[in-house]
A and B are shown apart, each in its own frame.
Chain A
Amino acid sequence: MQYIFNIFMTLLEGAKTASILFIVVILLSLPLGFLFTLMARSSIAPIRWFANAYIYILRGTPLLLQLIFIFFGVPYLPVIGKYLVFERFTAALIGFVLNYAAYFAEIFRGGLLAVDKGQYEAAKVLGMSRFKTTVFVILPQMIRVALPSVTNEAVSLVKDTSLLYAVAVPEIIHYATGIVNRDFNVTAFAVAAAIYLVMNTLLSFLFKKLEKKLEY
């Protein structure tokens, strides 16, 4: 029991890193994703092309490759490379935010399609500007439609934090592997699994609550 508790305390250190990554990524990639959604619907063609190409590339290639590229690859780029040398954690953070923004952009696009055309018309005849219509009429309805898919992505993100391992930022699996190698005992892996499960259970519970709140 004491052994498991010790493992747990060590892995908690990794969980802390994973949690910080999770929170920052969620806070940054949701608004960035929505920005890409709006760009993909822009009436200006180059903006639309850029947003669609971005979404296409980021969703079509592995996150692992993107992380490795940003940390190890980008500094080798000609001219700009030397200005883009990041710390491990920062590099990972950038990669996660850029990648998840692409997924959220697609989710929000679906959410927008689900908002009835009549809502835009009603807001228009009531004299609301396009900006106010987007913020106060469309966005709240889009969020409600998109929320279950956002929850799904958030659960994936919790698990994806393990990819920090690839750029050698110590996280849950890093510590667990260390313990297993040291003690020739796999208990640490089981504890790691339990920590992920607890984090996701908590997360699902919170999102369910939010869903209830936004119900209409």
Chain B
Amino acid sequence: MALIEINGLKKSFGNLEVLKNVSFQVEKGDVVAVLGASGSGKSTLLRSLINLEQIDGGSVCIDSEYLIKDGKYAPSAKIRKITSEMGMVFQNFNLFPHLTVRQNLEMPAKFAKILSDSELTQKADALLKKVGLSDKADVKPSKLSGGQQQRVAIARALMLNPTIMLFDEPTSALDPQLTGEVLSTMRQLAEEHMTMIVVTHEMGFARDVANKIIFMSDGEIVETAPPHEFFANPKYKKAREFLSMALD
């Protein structure tokens, strides 16, 4: 069984069907780039995996446990356990502005009770070093650039030892000169074989780092392919149109 199995996922906002029967699988260690125009349902798909969107039908199975089976949600304790396998990084970082960088990393992990206090400090130090922000541990997020904030957000998610990382347009709110530092942190994660699903408009990242491309259009997965195939020779007209616009 694949690490993530999604079958027949459906979701509507009122009369608008944002996900129509979406199915795909993610293997352990996969880096999946989800591409598609705005409004194609990419973010909704990602958010429903971690229970930020209520789904209307279908199944989501993570690491052999059903978050949703045929439209029915697992009991809330189980939902919490399953979603704790995943870390999520948002477009707008969503750091806690009233806490320092270190507190942002340590507070949720402390509540999760997975580490002792001294281990918390060590782990936070190690992760800040990894994202290159050791010297910023004691400042508030407002003193950081967008790229630095996003790297803190990645470190914060990693504090909880997720097996899967979800990225919802992690560089879309950043100036072009700041996207590089975030992408290189993500690239590093991919090299460590973290399973990642990345909703992105960064075609370079999708081509070089992902091993699987999912292309969505109007709430459906139109094409699933390895990046070299997808970028060299997209099978479907919509994918070709999207690429010719995106790579312009």
Footprint of B on A, CB under 8 Å?
116, 118-119, 121-129, 132, 136-137, 140-141, 144, 214, 216
B90 x A126 contact (CB < 8 A): no
The residue on B at minimum CB distance from A123 is: B108
Is residue B134 contacting chain A, with contact meaning CB distance below 8 A?
Answer: no
A214 x B98 contact (CB < 8 A): yes
**Most chain-B CB neighbours within 10 Å: which of A123, A124, A127, A128?**
A127
B97 x A127 contact (CB < 8 A): no
Q: Mark B122-142, 1 if CB is under 8 A from A, else 0.
A: 000000000000000000111
* Bound complex: CA A128 to CA B104 (Å): 13
Q: Mark B84-96, 1 if CB is under 8 A from A, else 0.
A: 1011101010111
- Which of B50, B88, B111 is in CB contact (< 8 Å) with A132? B111
Question: Given the complex, which residues of B lie within 8 Å of A136, measured CB to CB?
Answer: 107
Once A127-B83, A127-B111, A132-B111 are accepted as A-B contacts, the answer to whether A216 and B142 lie under 8 Å apart by CB is yes
A118 x B98 contact (CB < 8 A): no
Question: Given the complex, which residues of A lie within 8 Å of B88, measured CB to CB?
Answer: 125
Once A124-B52, A127-B108, A127-B112 are accepted as A-B contacts, the answer to whether A119 and B94 lie under 8 Å apart by CB is yes
B98 x A126 contact (CB < 8 A): no
Is residue B156 contacting chain A, with contact meaning CB distance below 8 A?
Answer: yes
B86 x A125 contact (CB < 8 A): yes
Is residue B235 contacting chain A, with contact meaning CB distance below 8 A?
Answer: no
Is residue B221 contacting chain A, with contact meaning CB distance below 8 A?
Answer: no
Question: Given the complex, which residues of B lie within 8 Å of A128, measured CB to CB?
Answer: 108, 111
How far apart are B157's CB and chain A's nearest CB, in angstroms? 8
Q: Mark B45-62, 1 if CB is under 8 A from A, else 0.
A: 000001110000000000
Q: What are 23 sample pairs from A and B whose C-beta atoms fall under 8 A apart?
A: A116-B92, A116-B94, A122-B95, A122-B96, A124-B52, A125-B50, A125-B52, A125-B83, A125-B86, A125-B157, A126-B108, A126-B156, A127-B84, A127-B108, A127-B112, A127-B160, A136-B107, A137-B96, A141-B97, A141-B98, A144-B98, A216-B97, A216-B98
